[in-house]
Chains A and B, each alone.
Chain A
């Protein structure tokens, strides 16, 4: 089905808008003398988002202007892309569990493996850049790494 990417994206935005709309309805919308409350602005925006998403879905289907997102994503260079996202996720999960220097060296080394860098270049880059980052942010800027 042509336009399916726009349809999927549109449905996601409508879901987001409805979520905010329902939550906004639980907030005060304003006083009797016309002063808007905390629920007023998000309610207007979520209504507008639903309307625009519907316009996008209809336009995408009628004009068949959308491209195949899933082909663009998965046929191009899917393995290194997904491995990079996975490596970042693992790095962040281990953030508070492993000392920063070890975690970062391993993370950068794993990225180097994903991108098929030579072993020497990978070892040098991951160790030197970790040292520089630690020196700059922790020692100079006093960031609690």
Chain B
């Protein structure tokens, strides 16, 4: 009955309208190379601040799902992933376009992204409630361990050096200590500035790091000869979007595998659609009878990667909603959005705001259905999105970052935080530092510190007592294992280079 109320809430005209707007905006953001789902959600968050939570979240869930799906459009048509999650869609999708099957590839992208999205939503609906019940038994020690696990995982799975990921994670945690101390109420590192009493504002920094820095990076890389010409795009032929039934049957094993694998990867803190789609594509190749077709336009290869793209979303939302730990970069931003609405993700959300959880589940289902209709109906004209000028996008994103961060609290300081965040984000990218752990450190800093100090207060400073809990030990074993795995992976990459 509760889920029915969730659907009724989503089908309210205003909420539904914002969901559609979110899906359309996400479709454009995802399809344009360089604009990511994370950036889309970050830049649009200030716009949703003025809406009811269900309406605001409708828009953001629409952007999230749709941008990940639409990233596959450019991957398929011009061999350039619109978002990192669609990297694996270039392997077979572009080969299909070159042989004249671009329409079918776009159809696969839409249908299988929706299958992945819907399956992961079922997992969210089934597992999030028992998981939140389990998480209710967590004490300070377990929460501290979970927060550290989240930051470590995000550093471990980020591209580049794990040391750099950890440095930014620790730097984010350190900067989160600016402001009033969470236990004693003592001012720290504020230098008499009252604007720093609440700490470094997370949302403006996040908008700068994911929005402004992305634009600055694009400007720094821009070359006139890379501009998409109308002539090149007009050469792309898009015919039918549906395959024959027998071809759909070929994709069933890889799709099932992708659904299961991607939702688990999505639930692991820090691991997102890029990792899931590459792993699933590789597994699908191993399972396939036509291994030689992979990379040359295999429909089951494309189906596996497209399923995995959106298959991570439900898993990432499960971790975010039940533990308050983001499953990927987009959910890190969504935590900030929920905080703006006055909600703290974690097990208590399932107790205090149970109807809102139902609304989120319903939003996921309806968003995927809208994507299905939109994707199949617009496949033949989807290449037109690529005609939007990069310069228009840069200017739009820059001004939205500035005005959006000001609009959060009518505070000029937030704009300054956003600008500094944007410049730092740009420098981090250029120096090959992953920005995800920094944002996560800043986001989880207060939670990490207050649980560590509360736990140590309860054990009167006894570290053994603090850590000697089965769940805490298990999580720390996972942390060590993920660090060792990541270091081995890095070593083998350097060795093979």
Instruction: Give the residue name and chain of the B residue nearest to A117 (CB).
Output: B391
Complex interface residues of chain A between 67 and 94 (CB less than 8 A to chain B):
67, 69, 72-73, 76-78, 80-81, 84-85, 88-89, 91-92
Q: How far is the CB of B431 from the nearest CB of chain A, in Å?
A: 5
**By the criterion CB–CB under 8 Å, are B167 and A36 in contact?**
no
Which residues of chain A come closer than 8 Å to B448, judged between CB atoms?
A: 41
**By the criterion CB–CB under 8 Å, are B161 and A77 in contact?**
no
User: Size band of the A side of the interface?
Assistant: 35 or more
B456 within 8 A of A: yes
- Please judge, given known A-B contacts A49-B167, A52-B166, whether A77 and B219 are in contact too, CB under 8 Å: yes
What does the 1/0 interface line of B391-402 toward A look like (CB < 8 Å)? 110111011001
B189's partner among A20, A36, A67, A143 (CB-CB below 8 A) is A20
What does the 1/0 interface line of B211-236 toward A look like (CB < 8 Å)? 00001100111110000000000000
What does the 1/0 interface line of B237-277 toward A look like (CB < 8 Å)? 00000000000000000000000000000000000000000
Which residues of chain B come closer than 8 Å to A129, judged between CB atoms?
A: 395-396, 399
B11 within 8 A of A: no
B328 within 8 A of A: no
Complex interface residues of chain B between 352 and 409 (CB less than 8 A to chain A):
391-392, 394-396, 398-399, 402-403, 406-407
Which residues of chain B come closer than 8 Å to A52, judged between CB atoms?
A: 163, 166-167, 170
How many angstroms from the CA of A9 to the CA of B164 in the assembled complex?
10
Complex interface residues of chain A between 97 and 115 (CB less than 8 A to chain B):
104, 107-108, 111-112, 115
Which residues of chain A come closer than 8 Å to B196, judged between CB atoms?
A: none
Which residues of chain A come closer than 8 Å to B431, judged between CB atoms?
A: 5-6, 9, 69
**By the criterion CB–CB under 8 Å, are B456 and A35 in contact?**
yes
How many angstroms from the CA of A16 to the CA of B189 in the assembled complex?
12
**By the criterion CB–CB under 8 Å, are A35 and B460 in contact?**
yes
Question: Which one of A78, A95, A104, A143 has the greatest number of beta carbons of chain B within 10 Å?
Answer: A143
**By the criterion CB–CB under 8 Å, are A49 and B395 in contact?**
no
Instruction: Say which one of B332-340, B415-423, B473-481 lies at the interface with A.
Output: B415-423
Q: How far is the CB of A105 from the nearest CB of chain B, in Å?
A: 11
**By the criterion CB–CB under 8 Å, are A108 and B220 in contact?**
no
Which residues of chain B come closer than 8 Å to A145, judged between CB atoms?
A: 403, 406
Instruction: Say which one of B23-31, B176-184, B280-288, B292-300 lies at the interface with A.
Output: B176-184
A23 within 8 A of B: yes
User: Size band of the B side of the interface?
Assistant: 35 or more
- Please judge, given known A-B contacts A49-B167, A52-B163, A115-B395, whether A33 and B461 are in contact too, CB under 8 Å: yes
Q: How far is the CB of A1 from the nearest CB of chain B, in Å?
A: 16
Complex interface residues of chain A between 50 and 80 (CB less than 8 A to chain B):
52-53, 55-56, 59, 63, 65-67, 69, 72-73, 76-78, 80
B188's partner among A38, A69, A77 (CB-CB below 8 A) is A38
A84's partner among B188, B216, B403 (CB-CB below 8 A) is B216
- Please judge, given known A-B contacts A36-B461, A55-B163, A108-B395, whether A80 and B222 are in contact too, CB under 8 Å: yes
B98 within 8 A of A: no
**By the criterion CB–CB under 8 Å, are B171 and A16 in contact?**
yes
Question: Which one of B163, B173, B423 has the greatest number of beta carbons of chain A within 10 Å?
Answer: B163
Which residues of chain B come closer than 8 Å to A13, judged between CB atoms?
A: 167, 171
A27 within 8 A of B: yes
B219's partner among A46, A84, A117, A144 (CB-CB below 8 A) is A84
Q: How far is the CB of B450 from the nearest CB of chain A, in Å?
A: 9
Instruction: Give the residue name and chain of the A residue nearest to B448 (CB).
Output: A41
**By the criterion CB–CB under 8 Å, are B181 and A38 in contact?**
yes
B464 within 8 A of A: no
Instruction: Give the residue name and chain of the A residue nearest to B456 (CB).
Output: A36
Which residues of chain B come closer than 8 Å to A107, judged between CB atoms?
A: 399
B1 within 8 A of A: no
How many angstroms from the CA of A48 to the CA of B423 in the assembled complex?
24
**By the criterion CB–CB under 8 Å, are A111 and B219 in contact?**
no
Measured CB to CB, the residues of B under 8 A from A are 50, 161, 163-164, 166-167, 170-171, 173-174, 177, 181, 183-184, 186, 188-189, 215-216, 219-223, 391-392, 394-396, 398-399, 402-403, 406-407, 410, 412, 415-416, 419, 423, 430-433, 448-449, 452-453, 456-457, 459-462, 494
Please list 29 pairs of residues, one from A and one from B, whose beta carbons are closer than 8 Å in the complex, sorted by A's number: A9-B433, A17-B174, A20-B177, A20-B189, A33-B461, A36-B452, A36-B456, A36-B457, A38-B186, A38-B188, A40-B453, A41-B449, A41-B453, A45-B177, A56-B163, A59-B163, A73-B220, A77-B220, A77-B223, A80-B222, A84-B216, A88-B398, A89-B419, A108-B399, A111-B395, A125-B392, A133-B399, A137-B403, A145-B403
